[in-house]
Amino acid sequence: MAQEIKKIALLTGGGDCPGLNAVIRAVTKAAILNYGMEVIGYKFGYRGLYKNDFVPLTLDSVSGILNRGGTILYSSNKDNLFDYQVEEDGVIVKKDVSDVAVENLKKEGVDVLIVIGGDGTLTSARDFSRKGIKVIGVPKTIDNDLASTDVTFGFNTAIDVVTEALDRLHTTAESHHRIMLCEVMGRNAGWIALEAGIAGSADVILIPEIPYDINKIAEKVREREAEGKNFTIVVVAEGAKPKNGEVVVSKIVKDSPDPIRLGGIGNKLAEDLERLIVDHEVRCTVLGHIQRGGNTSTYDRILSTRYGVAAVELIREGKFGHMVCLKGDTISSDTLENVIGQQTKLVNPEGELVQIAKKIGTTFAE
């Protein structure tokens, strides 16, 4: 049956993430070298599918991209073709334009569509699958919070960047006896803060899953002073919440043009901590976009390559409507129907990693 698959198309949706290009390269090489398929890539995610804007993907065009962050196919954040913003008679309306996409796939003779993206992008993939399109999904989230797969690419690169930043902040904190806050990605799940916090020797880790009490941070600072350590490193996930449940957004965050950079709690917390602990300076660094970009780590290059080749193998096996995933150390797959709508994989406050961090003296300021 698989013999009939002659042409496949790829698209990348949502925020960029190290490893996207490695997946694109692996899909393209595996499809061409092993099965003689033709490969094209739609530009800017579903928008390109709607506008029939694509490029051919060849051995040449994917050469040299293995370690480059970003995506050579570009991406857009919000294009849902099932509820798409179009102009009609001078008025902006939302409508389902998915049939245009289906038509474009037919016109180009695309047999299978491989969709690399996060929850939103994959939900559309499932919906195209329901419309009869042969779809394969590849999961992407830099936050590592998908329940359907143990690890997603990009996460290892992100914690590398954060850990290196924490290493740098340590020397300044120590030299000036400061409290240094480092705000990192993680709206709903605290994986980046947790793992980079362990690797970067943070004294306090604040994550959305464990609401914090600011007084416990002050306690930790005092406790460290008593041990002769006059500085404290705090990693804060952007979605961290104070214990009383009230998410007080800082004055300096309001009306911010850049929710990724300023949307979190870091600056507010720095203000409050400096009032609470008057004999120490408190500084906050918001890592923002440098967590997403640049050179892809060794680990992510390998994982992305595995995902990309596995996606092509799913085609060969006729497993349409499936998404590749990693379980333990093994690549497998699950149906998009099962995967979509699953809960976000949150940090378990009773789980091993949190317990590990506590055992070596890190506090979550509960």
Interacting positions 109-148 with its own copies (CB under 8 A):
none
Does the annotation count 111 as an active-site position?
no
Per-residue string for binding with its own copies, 156-175, x by CB under 8 A?
x--xxx-xxx-xxxxxx-xx
**Cα dihedral: 81, 304, 289, 56 (round 10):** -50
> Can you tell me which of 198, 210, 237, 311 binds its own copies, judged by CB under 8 A?
198
Residues 328-357, interacting with its own copies (CB under 8 A): 328-331, 352-353, 355-356
Closest by CA to 192, choosing from 301, 288, 305, 298, is 288
Which among 148, 147, 136 is positioned nearest to 110, based on CA atoms?
Answer: 136
Contact 337, 321 (CB under 8 A): yes
Q: In the range 272-301, which residues lie near its own copies by CB under 8 A?
A: 274, 282-290, 292-295, 297-299, 301
> What are phi and psi for residue 284, nearest 5 degrees?
-125, 135
Greatest C-alpha distance within the chain: 72
First to last CA, the chain: 57
Is residue 86 a contact residue for its own copies (CB under 8 A)?
Answer: no
Interacting residue with its own copies among 271, 276, 319, 335 (CB under 8 A): 271
CB atoms within 10 A of CB 265: 26
**Least distance in Å: CB of 173 to its own copies?**
8
- Active-site annotation holder among 127, 143, 160, 203: 143
91 Cβ partners below 8 Å, 6+ apart?
Answer: none
318 annotated among ligand-binding-site residues? no
Site string for its own copies, 41-80 (x = CB under 8 A): ------------------x---x--xxxxxx--xxxx---
Residue 50 Cβ vs its own copies, minimum distance, rounded to whole Å: 17
Nearer to its own copies among residue 133 and residue 169 (C-beta):
169
Q: What is the rounded distance in angstroms from the CA atom of residue 142 to the CA atom of residue 119? A: 12
Within 5-34, the residues that bind its own copies by CB under 8 A are 15-16, 20, 25-26, 29-30, 33-34
Alpha helices in 66-118 (DSSP H): 98-108
Residue 344 is labelled as binding a ligand:
no
| Residues facing residue 12 across a β-bridge | 116
Question: What are the distances in angstroms from CA 175 to CA 164, 168, 267?
Answer: 18, 12, 22
Pick the binder of its own copies from 252, 317, 318, 344 (CB under 8 A): 252
Which of 87, 88, 227, 279 is close enough to bind its own copies by CB under 8 A?
A: 227
Name the minimum Å distance from CB 89 to its own copies. Answer: 22
Q: What are the residue numbers of the active site?
A: 143
Q: Which amino acids are annotated as binding site for ATP, given as ranges? A: 15, 78-79, 118-121
